């Protein structure tokens, strides 16, 4: 896809140190300030995810590196190309910051706009960094308990930060706000441990995403019964003043995490990923719903539910797009980003198919841990499934790499790329951003080479949409994916029969 220009000639940015560059394997966040775009990296993310199985878990050589350094970095690029990529921040070892998961521009009234970056750290406190010039960064906002933030919004003069108490999901609705955290420390919108908290009037669960829609703040939470979407009842969210909009995983209780949110025309789009860590071991396609301004939701992408549920807020319909989960691909385990661009709705995925060899090797290396968390039959089934999938990949020439889909009406989607745009090692379209001059930026997740940043101008992208050679899966690939789905269904039946969807404590 020559429409896109690769801005970093060296994957992972660091042309002076290729070993360090590879460790910048996720372009985890992106923002624009002045003449530059900024990228917050995730360092050795697959290695970190492997450690979520157990601190003793081992990572295979495919995703390991020498001289491992998990200290996150922020890089910037001058948009006119007159200066090379420059590292403007490097976390110190004692900070234990492994990545910057979200970036945003915010300014309180009568103030200079500033760039904020939110960290991932397992030390129990989230760092929010602020910069007004992109070169000097200062930690602000006081003590923010949790591990990371996947989402921030600037809303009615306040900066809101959704904080997780786990890597993803969790149980605590930690929603903070401040006019400007340089001067006013972050405060909780409501304390989930207050004695007068009404669970019927507050979102109670880990907040994976927040977004402004219809002049209200919407939050997406994880619960034991699946994703829920709540909205504030006013433009100033407060305790016991929220409305439940969608619940119980949109009709599939295994839908546990909202990976992406985006507003398109008169709808809020929310994507749903299955329960962790199961979906990282077993590929299940992601779903997508949309919500209108009257709080009515409908399924846009999704198939038959794996664990059927009965939402109190609506009924799971046949997908409007005609696409099953993952756009008919079980390996699209995340729809990682949804964003309006030039009148179109874009959706970028995480193609776990690119990762199957890694998954098999992780399970092989950590046999006892897998058996302890699940059982030996699950271990054997996983190895059987992975090896079968790898053989089928070769037979059917499966197109690895993230998918990029486009819709002109929010219902009918078509793929623009099924193979990571520039390389199949780009397994995720991690971040989408529209620049101030109408450019489209894509930051990728690539654990094999290091992340990439891609750019297309508006005219070039529009020409490509109208003139591109249509890409799609042929009939043989549909048969292959159906065979994979049948194997996964066998594994789900086994797991449910033995009550193993919940991890062993």
Question: Which H or E run contains 43?
Answer: strand 36-43
> Where residue 497 falls among pLDDT bands split at 50, 70, 90?
low
Q: Are 242 and 203 in contact (CB under 8 A)?
A: yes
Please classify residue 497 by burial: count the beta carbons closer than 10 Å to its beta carbon, then call 0-12 exposed, 13-18 middle and 19+ buried: exposed
Q: For residue range 13-48, what is the model confidence (pLDDT) as tens digits?
A: 999 999 999 999 999 999 999 999 999 999 999 988
Beta strands in 63-170 (DSSP E): 73-78, 86-90, 99-106, 114-120, 128-131, 138-140, 148-155, 158-164
User: Which residue has 């301004």 as its token pair?
Assistant: 293
Q: Are 60 and 358 in contact (CB under 8 A)?
A: yes
**Among candidates 39, 62, 32, which has minimal Cα distance to 427?**
62
Q: What is the pLDDT of residue 105?
A: 98
Q: How far is CA 474 from CA 409, 421, 486, in A?
A: 25, 19, 19
Q: How far is CA 328 from CA 262, 287, 349, 416, 418, in A?
A: 21, 10, 12, 15, 12
Q: What is the pLDDT of residue 283?
A: 87
**pLDDT above 80 for 57:** yes
Q: What is the pLDDT of residue 308?
A: 94
Say what percent of the chain tops pLDDT 70: 94
Q: What is the pLDDT of residue 62?
A: 86
The pTM of the full predicted model, rounded to 2 decimals, is 0.94
Q: For residue range 194-234, what is the model confidence (pLDDT) as tens digits?
A: 999 999 999 999 999 999 999 999 999 999 999 999 999 99
Average of pLDDT values for 41-62? 90
**pLDDT above 70 for 400:** yes
DSSP H helices, 329-439, are 356-365, 367-373, 376-396
DSSP H helices, 31-155, are 45-53
Q: What is the pLDDT of residue 325?
A: 95
Q: For residue range 142-156, what is the model confidence (pLDDT) as tens digits?
A: 989 999 999 999 999
Q: What is the pLDDT of residue 473?
A: 59
Q: For residue range 267-280, what is the model confidence (pLDDT) as tens digits?
A: 999 999 998 877 88
SS3 474: coil
Q: How many residues make up the chain in this entry? A: 505
Distance in angstroms (rounded) separating the CA atoms of residues 172 and 391: 42
SS3 128: strand
Q: For residues 367, 372, 377 and 382, what is the CA-based torsion angle, rounded to 10 degrees? A: -50
**pLDDT above 80 for 495:** no
Q: Which pair of structure tokens corresponds to residue 285?
A: 């396609």
Q: What is the pLDDT of residue 425?
A: 96
**Among candidates 232, 228, 185, 239, which has minimal Cα distance to 213?**
232
Quick check: bond before 277 cis, omega within 30? Answer: yes
Q: Are 288 and 328 in contact (CB under 8 A)?
A: no
**pLDDT above 90 for 487:** no
The better pLDDT of the pair 113, 282 is held by 113
Q: Are 29 and 42 in contact (CB under 8 A)?
A: no
Distance in angstroms (rounded) separating the CA atoms of residues 98 and 58: 18
**pLDDT above 90 for 176:** yes
Q: By mean pLDDT, which of 169-183, 266-280, 300-314, 456-470 is the weakest?
A: 456-470
Cα 266 vs. chain centroid, distance in angstroms? 23
Q: Are 297 and 307 in contact (CB under 8 A)?
A: no
The better pLDDT of the pair 396, 497 is held by 396
> Where residue 53 falls among pLDDT bands split at 50, 70, 90?
confident
> Where residue 302 falls among pLDDT bands split at 50, 70, 90?
very high
Q: What is the pLDDT of residue 503?
A: 39
Distance in angstroms (rounded) separating the CA atoms of residues 297 and 271: 12
**pLDDT above 70 for 504:** no
The better pLDDT of the pair 497, 47 is held by 47
**Among candidates 32, 120, 42, 121, which has minimal Cα distance to 74?**
42
Distance in angstroms (rounded) separating the CA atoms of residues 104 and 174: 18
Distance in angstroms (rounded) separating the CA atoms of residues 231 and 261: 13
Q: What is the pLDDT of residue 488?
A: 73
How many other C-beta atoms are found inside a 10 Å radius of the C-beta of residue 472? 10
**Among candidates 236, 276, 235, 233, which has minimal Cα distance to 256?**
276
Q: What is the pLDDT of residue 501?
A: 55
> Where residue 499 falls among pLDDT bands split at 50, 70, 90?
low
**Among candidates 264, 263, 260, which has minimal Cα distance to 273?**
260
Q: Which pair of structure tokens corresponds to residue 408?
A: 């002109």
Q: Which pair of structure tokens corresponds to residue 395?
A: 């037979």
Q: What is the mean pLDDT of the chain?
A: 92
SS3 479: helix
Q: For residue range 416-463, what is the model confidence (pLDDT) as tens digits?
A: 999 999 999 999 999 999 999 999 999 999 999 999 999 999 988 888
Q: Which pair of structure tokens corresponds to residue 362?
A: 């992780």
> Where residue 165 falls among pLDDT bands split at 50, 70, 90?
confident
Q: What is the pLDDT of residue 364?
A: 96
Q: What is the pLDDT of residue 466?
A: 74
Average of pLDDT values for 165-184? 90
Angle at 152 between CA 256 and CA 110, to 5 degrees: 165
Average of pLDDT values for 171-192? 96
Distance in angstroms (rounded) separating the CA atoms of residues 431 and 40: 11
Strands 36-43 and 73-78: antiparallel
CB contact set of 214 (below 8 Å; sequence gap of 6+): 231, 268, 293
């Amino acid at each position: 896809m020559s429409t896109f220009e690769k801005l970093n000639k060296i994957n992972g940015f660091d042309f002076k140190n290729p070993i360090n560059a590879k460790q910048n394997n996720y372009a985890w966040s992106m923002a624009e300030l002045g003449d530059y775009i900024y990228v917050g990296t995730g360092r050795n993310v697959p290695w970190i995810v492997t450690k979520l199985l157990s601190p003793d878990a081992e990572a295979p050589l495919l995703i390991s590196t020498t001289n491992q350094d998990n200290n996150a970095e922020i890089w910037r690029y001058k948009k006119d190309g007159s200066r090379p990529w420059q590292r403007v921040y490097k976390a110190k070892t004692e900070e234990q910051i492994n990545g910057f998961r979200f970036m945003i521009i915010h300014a309180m009234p009568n103030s200079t706009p500033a760039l904020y970056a939110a960290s991932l750290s397992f030390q129990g406190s989230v760092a929010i960094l602020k910069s007004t010039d992109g070169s000097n960064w200062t930690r602000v906002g006081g003590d923010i308990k949790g591990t990371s933030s996947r989402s921030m919004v600037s809303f009615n003069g306040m900066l809101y930060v959704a904080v997780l108490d786990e890597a993803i999901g969790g149980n605590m609705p930690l929603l903070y706000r401040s006019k400007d955290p340089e001067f006013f420390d972050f405060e909780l919108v409501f304390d989930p441990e207050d004695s007068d908290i009404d669970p019927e009037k507050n979102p109670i669960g880990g907040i994976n995403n927040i977004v402004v829609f219809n002049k209200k703040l919407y939050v997406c939470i994880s619960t034991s019964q699946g994703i829920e979407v709540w909205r504030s009842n006013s433009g100033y969210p407060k305790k016991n003043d929220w409305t439940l909009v969608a619940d119980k995983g949109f009709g599939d209780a295994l839908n546990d995490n909202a990976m992406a949110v985006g507003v398109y025309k008169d709808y809020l789009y929310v994507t749903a990923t299955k329960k962790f860590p199961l979906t990282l071991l077993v590929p299940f396609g992601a779903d997508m719903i949309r919500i209108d301004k009257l709080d009515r939701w409908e399924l846009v992408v999704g198939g038959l539910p794996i664990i059927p549920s009965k939402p109190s807020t609506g009924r799971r319909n046949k997908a409007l797009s005609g696409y099953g989960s993952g756009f008919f691909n079980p390996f699209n385990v995340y729809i990682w980003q949804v964003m309006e661009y030039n009148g179109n709705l874009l959706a970028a995925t995480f193609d776990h198919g690119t990762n199957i060899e890694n998954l098999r090797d992780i399970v092989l290396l950590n046999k006892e841990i897998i058996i302890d968390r699940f059982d030996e039959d699950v271990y054997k089934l996983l190895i059987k499934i992975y090896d079968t999938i790898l053989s089928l990949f070769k037979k059917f020439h499966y197109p690895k790499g993230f998918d990029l889909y486009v819709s002109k009406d929010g219902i009918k989607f078509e793929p623009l790329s099924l193979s990571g745009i520039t390389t199949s090692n780009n397994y995720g379209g991690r971040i989408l951003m529209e620049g101030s001059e109408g450019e489209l930026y894509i930051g990728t997740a690539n654990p094999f080479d290091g992340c990439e940043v891609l750019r297309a101008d508006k005219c070039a992208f529009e020409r490509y949409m109208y003139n591109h050679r249509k890409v799609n899966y042929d009939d043989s690939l549909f048969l292959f994916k159906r065979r994979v789905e049948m194997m996964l269904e066998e594994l789900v039946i086994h797991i449910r029969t033995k009550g193993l969807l919940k991890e062993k404590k």
